Amino acid sequence: MKTKNFIVQTAVYFLIASIFYGCANPVSPGGGPRDTQPPGVISSNPPNYSLFFDKQKISITFDEFVKLKNPNQQVLISPPLKNKPEFKLRGKNLLIEFEEEFMPGTTYTIFFGNAIVDLTEENPLVNYLYVFSTGDHIDSLAIAGEVVNAFDLQPRDDVFVMLFAPTIDTIPQDSIPMFARPLYISKTDENGQFQLLNLRDQEYRLFALKDVNSNYKFDQPNEEIAFIDSLVSPIIPDVPTTVIDTLTNGDSLALLPDSLIYDTLVLQNMFKEYYQLFLFAQIDSTQRLLDEEVFYPPKFRINYKFPAKDPKFSVINKELDKDWKIEELNRGRDSLLVWVRDMELDSLHLVVADDTTILDTLWIVFSREKKNAPIKKGKKNDDIEIVERIEFKTSLNGRILDLGHPFRMVMANPLDAYDFEDVFFVAADDTMQGAPFKVLDSLNRIFELDYEMTEATRYEFLFPDSILFDIYGLTNDSLQASFSTGRESDYGNLILNISIEDSGYPYILQLLDQKENILKETYISESQTVSYQYLKPGSYLIKAVQDKWSNKHWDTGIYVEKRQPENVFYFPAEINIRANWDMKESWQLP
């Protein structure tokens, strides 16, 4: 009876491993010019799933010659060993020799990943497992789940998933993943899924780690981590009895039904606790100066690693007038752009700081002329004059201005003077002198046409020369520009009814394109209707960030503070906008 129970139990282990790892039954090649079949296991010594294991060597025999591909990256042993075993190939045999004693009463799992391939075509034996126990039973509990990127919820492959003891006498709890080795370890597949099999019946701490140096420790600043706040307990997976019956045939194992291979729903249904871990990179709280950029006419940009509290700098090699510069801090507060009024200034030696902390010193060296400057020819072929003019960009897409979008001009440099009274502005058949522009910023860089646009209408500007002057004395040529607005029927509208449960947190609601570029952003703190008008036909995504820290941007986690990254939610389906169509959707946020 005990032998029969062990066979059934072993069958269940085989089923779980197969569902997780897609361990299909290899068959002989069916002919054809190219071998596409993976190698198959004929036997192993000691046999797979052996009890009272006391050997220092394992031999696995295959049905063809094989080789190992990237064993250091692919092969995982759980619980981890202090010394890596030695792998040798002898004919069609793989020999594994261990250099240390195993722990008593412990179940070990050797996970080969895609390391075992055939000799000619390198077809992999996908995720083969060898399991043994140094005690009188194979531990039968398991944990399953998936690892996703905390910012965009995309699955992350090739990530270690590790279990630790709840407490370790010599290590503080918040330092366990930095200094301790895990009790059990696995790796995520291409779908971000993981499994930890053959576990003892105890509570664990569960972590995921993108391990840069492959030492199973969170000890590098560029490593990403995820963790579950509470202790986790493994369970016996809920394998249907009908499946168990198909896996036993007298005292021998039958083959796993192909329909269960890679079936994610079967896997999730087998575990009442299917853990989702959100992988994040911690922010090093130490502010740093990343780099600097220098431009012509004389201006420079200082780039910080993190948003700056109070960015500042001082000049130590010159005495300058009080108004020698104009500064602009970007929206993210991590980049400071500085215009220098003196065109003759050749260099600056700066001390750069954030708040009261000095970060670095910089030498800024300016060029005296612009590379690839436009050339204006005079009456004679040899009469060549380099002419510099004001540069600016507009909000036009070609010669079309989308409805619902204002016409804007963004100057490359702040303006010292401007006068739009002599600009002729044509709207359809109406002509007016004096274009109604308004300035949107304190530096006189961003100008918006204060005029209500109508659909399918042609607009035109005629700018006379020398009506705009920037801080360097550059001005504009005469300019004629025209554009047309689209028709309302060319666009679609989205009406989104947002319901927010009483979580106490506001949300950053974002309309995204397919590449997840932010098209529109709304900050909401209560249930309401959000309308997106004049959307071009196509597919869109809706994303919501639960702004727990109330700073209107997504915050990553900090492990030592047990702080998880801010929750991110995506509307469960793509939004497909059609022309001349209103779409209404409802979304419940926690």
Q: What angle do CA 195, 197, 201 make, to 5 degrees?
A: 125
CA-to-CA distance for 470 and 409, rounded, in angstroms? 14
In what side-by-side order are the strands of the sheet with 41-45? Answer: 41-45, 57-62, 93-97, 86-90
Is the bond leading into 46 cis (omega within 30 degrees of zero)? yes
CA-to-CA distance for 77 and 80, rounded, in angstroms? 5
Please answer whether residues 216 and 182 qualify as being in contact, where contact means their C-beta atoms are separated by less than 8 angstroms: yes
CA-to-CA distance for 523 and 545, rounded, in angstroms? 10
Token reading at 87: 């792998």
Residue bearing tokens 């409802």: 586
Residue 273 CB coordination number (10 Å): 12
* N-terminal to C-terminal alpha carbon distance within the chain: 51
Amino acid at 486: G
How far CA 344 is from CA of 64, 347, 365, in Å, comes to 77, 9, 12
Sequential pLDDT tens for the chain (590 residues):
445 455 555 555 656 555 555 444 444 444 555 778 899 999 999 999 999 999 999 999 999 999 998 888 788 898 888 888 999 999 999 999 999 999 999 999 998 878 899 998 899 887 788 999 999 999 989 999 999 999 999 999 999 999 999 998 889 888 999 998 889 988 898 899 998 988 999 999 999 999 988 788 999 988 999 999 999 999 988 865 555 554 444 333 333 333 333 456 767 888 889 999 999 998 877 889 999 999 999 999 999 988 899 999 999 998 999 899 999 999 889 999 999 999 899 999 999 999 999 999 999 999 877 765 444 444 444 455 556 889 999 998 888 899 988 999 999 999 999 999 999 999 998 999 999 999 999 999 999 999 999 999 999 999 999 999 999 999 999 988 899 999 999 999 999 999 998 778 999 999 999 999 999 999 999 999 999 999 999 999 999 999 999 989 899 999 989 999 999 999 999 999 999 999 999 999 99
Token reading at 177: 């993943």
Residue bearing tokens 């370890």: 185
